[in-house]
Chain A
C-alpha cells in the first residue's frame, strides 16, 4: 500500500496543496486530476521524495519513504516524468535497460536483459530496439520511457501524464497496459492525467486536486460529474451516457476565470438524442471519504468494456 498522509507542500512559502490524504493499493490505478497548476506533478514528486514536503508523510508498504535510501526507494517506486529528456545519446534498449539500475550491477545480468526485453515488447517497441532514442518521435520516446519504468519492476508506478504526446490509439494501448500491469502484477499506479474520459475508464479511483487541496476523491463514477468538472475546471460539460459508458463533452465556452457567477455558468445544453445525466443539482456533492484507491471489481469493468465494444 502506498499511503500519503496529510501531505503539505509549499514553493517559496506559498502552499501548493495541504492536507492531501490518499492510498493506492497494489493492483489499483489512482488517477490524479486537476487543472494546470493544481499540483499534480508536485504531488508525484513529493511522493518520490524528489521534493521535500513541508508536512505529512509518505508510507510505502508501511515504511516511511523519507527514511529510505535512493536505491531502496527506486526498487519500490518507478517514475516517468512529464518532460522527455532533450537529448539522450543512447539506443532504445540501453534507455530501457537503465530502469534496471536499482537491481543491476555494472554488468547487466541475463535477468536484467530479459526484463528490458519484455518491457520493450510489451510496449510494441521491439523493432526500434537498436534505434537512437534521439531519432524517435515524441510518442515513441514517451513509450520508451514507460518501458524503462516497467523494466524497473517497482511495486508502484508514478506516471506524470504518460499519454500527453500519444495519439488516440497509443493512449488506449498505454493506459490499457498500465491498468493490465497493475491488475496482473499487483502493481499500484498513481497517474497524473488530464483526459477525464480516460480517467473514467482506466482508473479505479481518482483524486481531484483543486485550490490547494483535495476537492474530491473516490471511484471515478462517483466523483466525476458535470458539477465537479464545472467547479474544478470552470468549464460547462454535458455528460454523455452511451451504452453504459460515460463521457464528458464541453458544452460551451469556458467560464470567465475570476468573477464567476451563476448566471455565466448556464446549464449544459442537451444535444441530439444522447442521454444526459447529472447536470449538477441532482448529483450529491463529491465526498472526500472513501479515498481508498483499491482495485475495482475487474469483472464489472470487463463487462462494461464488452458492452461498449458491442452495444
Chain B
C-alpha cells in the first residue's frame, strides 16, 4: 500500500524464481495473459491490465463480427437455391419470391437461432457463477426438464394452440428453478449455499423427468412422438411473433446480469470474501438464478431443449476472454448465438431438403470445437 515509488523495479521482494520467467506450466498459449501479449516484464501492473482489457475488447468485437457473419451465411443458405446476391436484394425489397423467402422464412429462423443461443449462454454464465461450479448450466437446475414437462403436459391435453405449449414450458421451467431456490432457502436460511442449489436442482430435474416419462407412458403413440420431437429442439416453428416474444423474454435479463458482473466476479472468490466486500450474496444468488432461468426458459420454450450451449458457450468464452464477467457475459452471448445459428445452418444444408433438428446439431458442432480448446489448454476446467 505504501508502495515503492512508481518507477521502482518490480518484484523487489523476491518472488519465487518463476515469476519473472515465461509462462507457468499449464499456461494456455492462446489465452489472454501478460505473457501472451509479450509485454515487457517491467511494465506497470496498470499497463498490463490495460493491454489485457484492450485485447479482450478486441476479441469481443471479433466475436460480434463472427456472429454477424454467421447470421448472414444463415440467410444465404437454404433449399430454395437463391444466390447471396438475390438474398441481399430480397432483404431490401418486398413482394417478390426472394423477399418472401428471406423475410418470412429465413430471417425469423436465423434470428430465433441467435436469440436462443444468446439466452442459453447467458443462463449458463449466470448458473456457473452463482453455483461456482464449472459443470453447472441452467439444465442442472432443472429448467430444461421443467420446460419439457410443461410442453408434454400441453401436448397430451390435445391442445392445438400455437402459444400454449410455449407458455406452459416457460412457466414450468421457471417453476422448477423457483422450487430449487425454495429448497435452498429452507435448508440454509437466507444464505442458500451453492451445493444445496446443485443437489436440489438435480433432484428437481429427476422429478420433472420422471413426470414427463409418466406422461409418455400414459400417452398415445402420436403424443409420445410429439413429446420426443419437442425434446429434440427445433427451429421450424419460428415466425415473427415467436421471435418478438422470445426477444422480450431473453433480452431483458442480459443487461441486468451485466450490471452485477463485478458481484459475479467476487462470488468466485468465495461467499465469505464476497460478503466482506459488500455483496449481498443471498440476493445475488437468487437474482442470478432467476435471471438465468428467465433467459434459458425464454430460449427453450419455443424451440425445445437445445442442449450443450448453456454449458459450453461460457467455457469457450472464458477460454477466449478470461473470467471477468463484464466481458465474459457479452462474449458468451455472441458465441452462443453464433454457435446455434451455425448449427442450424449446417443442420439445414447438410441433408437438404431434410432438416436435422437443432438440438442434435448443436452437440455435433459444439463438441469437437469444445474438445479442441479443452485439449489445447493446459489447465483443467476454468
Contact = CB atoms under 8 A, between A and B. Distances in A.
Contact of B276 (A50, A95, A113, A137): A50
B1 A87 contact: no
Nearest to A70: B278
A87 B11 contact: no
A296 to B, nearest CB: 19
Interface in B37-58: 37, 39, 41-42, 44-46, 48-49, 51-52
B246 to A, nearest CB: 27
B12 A124 contact: yes
A118 B1 contact: yes
Contact of B268 (A87, A128, A139): A87
Select the residue from A77, A88, A180 with max chain B CB neighbours within 10 A. A88
B3 A130 contact: no
A74 B15 contact: no
Interface in A81-124: 81, 83, 85, 87-95, 97-99, 101-102, 104, 106, 113-114, 116-124
Contacts of B3: 117-119, 121-122
A95 B269 contact: yes
B11 to A, nearest CB: 5
A276 interface: no
Given A85-B268, A90-B323, A91-B322, A126 B277 contact: no
Contacts of A257: none
B1 A135 contact: no
A130 B272 contact: no
Given A48-B276, A121-B10, A185-B2, A93 B48 contact: yes
B273 A45 contact: no
A77 B273 CA distance: 11
Nearest to A160: B272
Interface size class of A (residues with CB under 8 A): 35 or more
B49 A50 contact: no
Contact of A122 (B1, B11, B132, B269): B1
Contacts of B265: 90, 94, 98
For the residues of A in contact with B, the DSSP-based class is helix
A78 interface: yes
A93 B52 contact: yes
B14 interface: yes
B223 interface: no
Interface in A41-77: 45, 48, 50, 70-75, 77
Contacts of A235: none
Given A91-B33, A130-B39, A132-B27, A121 B48 contact: no
For B27, B45, B265, the residue with the greatest tally of chain A CB atoms inside 10 Å of its CB is: B45
B95 interface: no
B16 A139 contact: yes
A88 B322 CA distance: 10
B15 A128 contact: yes
A118 B27 CA distance: 26
B20 interface: yes
Contact of B27 (A99, A135, A150, A158): A135
24 contacts: A48-B275, A50-B276, A70-B278, A70-B280, A72-B278, A73-B278, A78-B276, A83-B270, A85-B273, A87-B382, A91-B322, A94-B265, A94-B324, A95-B269, A98-B277, A101-B266, A116-B45, A124-B14, A130-B34, A131-B24, A131-B35, A139-B16, A152-B277, A184-B2
Q: Kindly list the 6 A-B residue pairs having the minimum CB-CB distance in the complex, ordered from nearest.
A: A130-B34, A89-B323, A124-B13, A126-B10, A74-B278, A129-B45
Interface of A: 45, 48, 50, 70-75, 77-81, 83, 85, 87-95, 97-99, 101-102, 104, 106, 113-114, 116-132, 134-135, 137, 139-140, 145, 148, 150, 152, 158, 169-170, 173, 177, 180-181, 184-185
Interface of B: 1-4, 6, 8, 10-16, 19-20, 24, 26-27, 31, 33-35, 37, 39, 41-42, 44-46, 48-49, 51-52, 132, 134, 259, 261-263, 265-266, 268-270, 272-273, 275-280, 318, 322-324, 326, 379, 381-382
